[in-house]
Structure 1
Amino acid sequence: MMAQEVKKVELDPSKVKGRLVYHTVKRGFDILASGVALILLSPLFGVLTVKIKEEDGGPAFYSQTRIGKNGKPFKMWKFRSMIVNADKMVKQLEEQNEIDGAMFKIKNDPRVTKIGHVIRKYSLDELPQLWNVLKGDMSLVGPRPPLPMEVEDYTDYDKLRLTVTPGCTGLWQVTKRNDADFDEMVELDLEYINKSSLWFDFNILLKTVGVVIHPNSAY
């Protein structure tokens, strides 16, 4: 797969860190919204937990170490959409990777369970990350947190996407999602960081609702 030429986005980390009012209000909204959502969605959490365990008897939840703001690792939670011990199969599937750059994605991933295909299509597997938002590991909107092995291959330019708190959704997810290669994802994340504001975040959240109702290229 040939990577497209992507224009690099200029980013000044010092300006990002200096936006105290924006980050304070955003954190307050994250706490309120994630707390309310966890309560309101608790019946759905119950249903999904039962359905996932019914298929193969494995755990309903899955945790994975991700890299957050300023390179700090944290444990990110998801509903399990793959077979148990799917991470151990990555090396034998590396040749099937369909994304250029420091990212691993397979469209027809053989590790995904039946219920996994459904919850991935509608992004329901991401719901437990509301707990990460409440804790402060993540925000509702921001760049997706990468895996440690992905960050090992990052250039200094790629690491600029780690200057802010990672998010459950972002500009990449509501536009190109898996149609974008790694370089395009980085540019979209840096574009978001440059343009980030409460209004921009709100628009991305609205578009995320649309993506859940009418899924884009999720897999």
Structure 2
Amino acid sequence: MIRLLDLVFSLVGLVLGFPVFLVLLVLGYFDTGSPLFRQERVGRHQKPFTLVKFRTMRPDTASVASHLADASAITSLGHFMRKTKLDELPQLWNVLKGEMSLVGPRPGLFNQEELTAERSRLNVYAARPGITGLAQVTGIDMSTPKLLAETDRKMLDSLTVVAYFKYIVMTVTGSGSGDAAKKS
């Protein structure tokens, strides 16, 4: 049922959001010269996939987890997109392709070895990674790998259609802080 919801909502979101995508692409081009950000992430069953987002940091920023990135690298447009979560919109393509779900554990980087080990131990990788989930709406980020993995497992164990919609609504209404960049 969750996969069907993912398919419907990602397709509808991509179609209805197309004008917004175009505006953000143009603004992003003027902001950084490279409006889309692609990064290899750890997917379901620990298989790599390429996550797509709108770029919120200067293109020369190191490819590290958000909590390790320097906040001064975030552009003005990037601040706006992060606050409104518009930077996440291109991930609807990842959801449509089946690489992600709207709700699931936020995909980490392969160099986040402690997080990968904790998630592997708790069998979190049996699920598709998500755009949002319990950790994101409660402000738990990737700087606390053990807590994050435990929260992901807790979410997966109790994920229902009602919870799926709850996490989406909480994300859209601004609950949690997500993965914040470190202050410079």
Could you say which TM-score interval applies, normalised by the shorter chain? Answer: 0.7 to 0.9
Aligned to 1:67: 42
Aligned to 2:101: 139
Aligned to 2:9: 33
What aligned pairs does 1:119-134 form with structure 2 within 5 A after superposition? 119-134=81-96
Q: In the alignment, is residue 164 of structure 1 matched against residue 114 of structure 2? A: no
Matched residue pairs, number? 177
CA drift of 1:188 comes to: 1.2
Farther off after superposition, 33-42 or 202-211:
202-211
Aligned to 2:177: 217
Identity %: 37
Aligned to 1:52: 28
Distance in 1 (alpha carbons) for counterparts of 2:142 and 2:40: 25
CA drift of 1:140 comes to: 0.5
Cα distance change on mapping 1:156 and 1:123 into 2, 3 Å: same
Q: In the alignment, is residue 202 of structure 1 matched against residue 178 of structure 2? A: no
Distance in 1 (alpha carbons) for counterparts of 2:68 and 2:46: 26
Contact 2:62 2:69 in 1 (8 A): no
Identify unmatched segments of 5+ residues in structure 2: none
Please, what is the CA RMSD of the aligned residues? 2.1
Contact 1:78 1:128 in 2 (8 A): yes
TM-score (norm. length: structure 2): 0.87
SS at match of 1:85: coil
Flag as ranges the 4+ runs of structure 1 deviating above 4 A.
none
**1:149 aligned residue (111, 114, 139):** 111
Distance in 1 (alpha carbons) for counterparts of 2:95 and 2:86: 16
CA drift of 1:187 comes to: 1.7
Cα distance change on mapping 1:180 and 1:46 into 2, 3 Å: same
Distance in 2 (alpha carbons) for counterparts of 1:186 and 1:153: 10
Contact 1:69 1:163 in 2 (8 A): yes
Identify unmatched segments of 5+ residues in structure 1: 1-24, 91-102
Farther off after superposition, 136-145 or 105-114:
105-114
Distance in 2 (alpha carbons) for counterparts of 1:67 and 1:178: 16
